[in-house]
Amino acid sequence: MTLGSVLAVADSDSYVKWAAATLDRLEAVPRRELAVLRTPIRPDDAQTTAAVAGTGWAGRVVDDHSLIGLAARLRRTRPDAVLVATTGPAAEALIRMIAGLPYRPVVVTGLPGMSIPATERALRFRSGADVFVVHSRHEREAFALAAATVGVDPVLAVNRLPFLDGSADVDAAPDEAPLSRVVFAPQAKFPTAPDERRAVLRSLATLARSRPDLEVVVKLRAVAGQVQTHDEPHPYDVLWRGLRDDAPVHLATGPLAAHLTPGTALVTVSSTALLEALAAGLRGLVLADFGVGDENLTTVYEGSGLLGTLRDLEAGRFFAAAPRWRSENYFHPEPDELPAVLASLGTLPPVRPGPPVGGRRAQARRYARLALPGLALRGARRRARGQGGH
């Protein structure tokens, strides 16, 4: 199948970033468009600007639509494929809406970062998609098992994470510049306890005081009051102000790439940002103080050589990823499979979404969030401001 057009639909900062970069990689498609779905987690202008930095959408206005408006756009423009780049509840609604269109586009979906463990829930929300994009050999194996359990059968296409800039060479040259900057990349969901988050900040402060030659940065995806893909009950900017520590720790927003220069090391609990640092040949550290396992999305780092502790952070010890781990996890040398998968598709049967996920109340809440995004967005921002005071 030859595609003349594809429309990507995203609903949060991380999905906008993934969608824009994925579209850039579909170079053979003449018409590629990006739209944002109005939901309570729709990114604001600053977040959108950061998300599309370095892509073909940098400096351009990204259209946004309600679910009804998006349906009208699809009927009017009839793209050959729709990239459903949204959180699960929105993906479920979009695929059901696509099933009711008067024509049959290819439905592509996926997740915007590391997706181990592979969850059945992610597949149930996206049931009916023709192609599910994964980002490593490890992920394909995991999602194949989950799909068999759920009873869905999308084509699993292995693409490198699109913002790794094609640097999937297993033998990428390591950064040998003297350490000059340490960047902490938070993950919105982990660690969950505020005291654990404060412990990370205190270790960063210890490093900053003991190594005045280093720039120590907390790179935020959002500040308190901004919405993002996952709720963050205890934002780091609020916790840092509460510590009243005068250590030279800098809080920054904007594109991560601006910080990933030679001499930088990146520390995280489980953020995909670490992969961007590794792609640039930089050193990294995955904090294992809060456990290693599926519950905080760190299982994937077992065997990576990147696991360490807050003591390593305070001492300025960072590591390079093991070559074998790189090749199995996100840095495989093979080319992206999505273009070939799309080209191989023939005549497709009607889109068949699976049964709705969850009970009727959960379904009603999800529908209201999509059908009445203004009311839901105001509620989400009130919650974010309230959480900022904790």
In this predicted model, what pLDDT tens digit does every residue of 338-387 receive, in sequence order? 999 999 999 999 999 999 998 888 888 887 778 775 554 454 445 444 44
Q: Are residues 34 and 141 in the same domain?
A: yes
Structural domain range at position 65: 5-164+334-383
Q: Are residues 285 and 342 in the same domain?
A: no
Q: Are residues 253 and 200 in the same domain?
A: yes
C-alpha of 36 from chain center: 15
Residue 390 lies in a domain: no
- The answer to whether residues 281 and 173 touch, using CB atoms and an 8 Å cutoff, is yes
- The answer to whether residues 202 and 286 touch, using CB atoms and an 8 Å cutoff, is no
- CATH number of the domain residue 151 falls in: 3.40.50.11930
- The answer to whether residues 282 and 320 touch, using CB atoms and an 8 Å cutoff, is no
In this predicted model, what pLDDT tens digit does every residue of 283-312 receive, in sequence order? 999 999 999 999 888 999 999 999 999 999
Q: Are residues 231 and 128 in the same domain?
A: no
Q: H/E element holding 97? A: helix 88-99
Q: Are residues 186 and 211 in the same domain?
A: yes
CA separation for the pair 27, 17 (Å, rounded): 17
Mean pLDDT calculated for residue range 225-233: 60
- The answer to whether residues 109 and 133 touch, using CB atoms and an 8 Å cutoff, is yes
Last residue of a domain, one of 281, 296, 328: 328
Q: Are residues 30 and 100 in the same domain?
A: yes
For residue 178, CA distances in Å to 128, 315, 320 come to 50, 15, 14
Q: What is the DSSP string of 184-215?
A: EE--SSSS-SHHHHHHHHHHHHHHHHH-TTSE
Number of domains in the chain: 2
Q: Are residues 228 and 303 in the same domain?
A: yes
Rg (CA), the chain: 21
Q: Are residues 133 and 52 in the same domain?
A: yes
Give the pLDDT score at 15. 97
Q: Are residues 152 and 14 in the same domain?
A: yes
- CATH number of the domain residue 257 falls in: 3.40.50.2000
Considering the chain, what percentage of its residues have pLDDT values greater than 70? Answer: 91
Residue 172 lies in a domain: no
Q: Are residues 33 and 65 in the same domain?
A: yes
